[in-house]
């Protein structure tokens, strides 16, 4: 009888430990269901599987076999509260590679740079600015909310346009382009111009930027 009692306790502990090791969330979004399965691995690392389903059909998925914490935080965050109705965003941290996983009304999953997001309400666009010095490259992207697609995406592996993560950058609209401008006088960057027509990023001094009529964008 005692043996049966201790066996019950042992298996209860194993089930509890397994439950703590693996987490599962599922959230409805329009005609889809977004699921996130995460498992805690060794040394603060995790694995994560994101799936987007419509009925029994998987329309998109993203699998991270291992996300390293690198002394920081490793996880994919799925929040029920979203700021915009037509997209759903998850946030991935770790690997010195922060990402925003954007799911649109078509059931597509788009991999975008983590960092700050600015909203151009007039044009119906989101501007993504990755500005962490600890990560291997700067990255910028512009997402068209109306047409549900990425219209500008640049990874700057040479780090010509490196941002300082201790300084705030304001993204502004100037004509048809976007400007990431530092608000810190000691920052030598000046500004980075997102040339929407040429699909390139151009470094510009303050003097040149100040000649353009700029409209600040709100952060999302």
Give the contacts of 86 (CB within 8 A, at least 6 positions apart).
104, 105, 145, 148
**Whether the Cβ atoms of residue 51 and residue 35 lie closer than 8 Å to each other:** yes
* Secondary structure class of 161 (helix, strand, coil): coil
* 196 to 8, 77, 178, 181, 202: CA distances (angstroms): 64, 31, 8, 16, 11
Please report, for residues 1, 12, 168, the alpha-carbon distance to residue 132 in angstroms, rounded to integers and kept in the order given: 60, 43, 11
Per-residue pLDDT at 170: 86
pLDDT at 18 (0 to 100): 45
CA 47/CA 175 separation, integer angstroms = 43
Give the DSSP letter of residue 183: -
Strand order in the sheet with 32-40: 22-29, 32-40, 46-54, 57-67
pTM of the predicted model as reported, rounded to 2 decimal places: 0.84
Query: E strand or H helix at 77, and its extent?
Result: strand 75-78
Cross-strand bridge partners of residue 109: 103
Question: How confident is the prediction along the chain (220 residues), in pLDDT tens digits per residue?
Answer: 544 443 444 444 343 344 469 999 999 999 999 999 999 999 999 999 999 999 999 999 999 999 999 888 999 999 889 999 999 999 999 998 899 999 999 999 999 998 889 999 999 999 998 866 666 677 889 999 999 999 999 886 545 455 666 667 789 999 999 998 876 655 555 688 889 998 888 888 877 888 889 999 999 9
User: How is residue 65 written in tokens?
Assistant: 């076999």
């Amino acid at each position: 009888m005692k043996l049966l009692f201790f066996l019950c306790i042992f298996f209860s502990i194993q089930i509890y430990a397994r439950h703590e090791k693996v987490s599962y969330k599922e959230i409805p979004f329009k005609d889809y269901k977004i699921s996130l399965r995460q498992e805690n691995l060794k040394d603060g690392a995790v694995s994560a599987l994101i799936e987007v389903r419509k009925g029994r059909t998987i329309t998109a998925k993203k699998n991270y076999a291992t996300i390293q914490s690198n002394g920081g935080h490793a996880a994919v965050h799925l929040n029920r509260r979203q700021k915009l109705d037509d997209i759903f965003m998850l946030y991935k941290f770790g690997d010195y590679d922060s990402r925003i996983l954007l799911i649109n009304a078509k059931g597509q999953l788009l991999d975008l740079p983590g960092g700050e997001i600015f909203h151009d309400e007039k044009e119906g666009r989101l501007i993504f600015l990755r500005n962490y010095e600890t990560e291997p490259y700067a990255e910028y992207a512009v997402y068209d909310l109306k047409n549900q697609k990425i219209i500008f995406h640049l990874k700057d592996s040479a780090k010509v346009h490196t941002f300082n993560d201790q300084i705030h950058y304001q993204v502004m609209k100037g004509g048809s382009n976007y400007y990431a401008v530092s608000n810190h006088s000691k920052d030598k960057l000046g500004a980075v111009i997102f040339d929407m027509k040429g699909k390139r990023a151009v470094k510009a001094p303050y003097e040149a930027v100040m000649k353009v009529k700029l409209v600040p964008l709100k952060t999302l």
